[in-house]
Amino acid sequence: MLIRLNLLLLMVVSFLLFPTRLLAEYVREETPERIATTVYGINLLLCSVLPSVLWRFAVRERLSGSTRRRGGDAHQAAHARRLAGYLAMIVVKLFLPVVAVLGYLAVAVYIIVPFGALRHRSSPG
């Protein structure tokens, strides 16, 4: 099962090229733009959800060498914010597809840049 989940994750990540190209081609056409933005957003959402599913399965089956999830509550809160961001942008795309694409970019930057670590480093103490 772990291998199947991992293969599913790899399939979703490798599929990301297709909706990215669709988005680039149809960004200025109204109806195709909405479809391309939806496919792109759903693919990004799956790319965000599947690693968590994979990790939870590994911990539940005691395949990870750990019985606890690393990062605890802070990690789960950050993951919930990412998912909420993707879901919000999927809804926004119904009305403003270009804004949704910028929102997807904002979520990606939020994932990549360690704002929490930067905040702790800059605080006095």
**What predicted TM-score, i.e. pTM, was given to this entire model?**
0.70
Range of the domain at 72: 2-122
pLDDT above 90 covers what percent of the chain? 15
pLDDT at 124: 62
38-65 pLDDT, tens digit each: 888 889 888 888 888 888 888 888 887 6
Give mean pLDDT, residues 94-106. Answer: 82
* Average pLDDT over the chain, rounded to an integer: 80
Structural domain count of the chain: 1
For residue 79, count other CB atoms closer than 10 A to its CB: 17
